[in-house]
Amino acid sequence: MGEFVKACKKSEIPDGAGKRVQVNGKEIAFFKTQEGVCAIYSVCPHQGGPLEEGGITDQVVTCPWHGWEFNVTTGECTFNDSIKQPTFRVKEEGEDVFVEA
């Protein structure tokens, strides 16, 4: 378990897409969802596409390179149970977003 580290402000995360922040050497993509801000490893396991540049609908982000989809709250790939992208715990304090990384 890591410590919670301040990553960004909520207002810096665009609507319908994500924001990449490097935290403790990890590339993490932050997305706003109805359940709050979620954090997922930003490098697509297919060929390294930037998940933060993908569109997000109902917690599912679509990789902009070849369309693989991941649930940003669980990391699960929508079409292959054996693929799971790492996710990170997030804490929000007002406008500030903290992540455990």
State the residues that interact with ligand FES by CB under 6 A.
44, 46-49, 63, 65-68
Question: Least distance to ligand FES from the beta carbon of 28, Å?
Answer: 16
Nearer to ligand FES, 48 or 55 (CB): 48
| Amino acid at the residue 64 | P
Q: How far apart are CB 70 and ligand FES at their closest, in Å?
A: 9
Q: How far is the CB of 43 from ligand FES (least distance, A)?
A: 9
What is the Cα–Cα distance from 61 to 17, expressed in whole angstroms?
Answer: 8
Rounded CA-CA distance 39/43 in Å is 12
Q: Which is nearer to ligand FES, 34 or 57 (CB)?
A: 57
Listed in sequence order, the residues at least 6 apart from 69 whose beta carbon sits closer than 8 Å to its beta carbon are 60, 61, 62, 63, 77, 78, 79
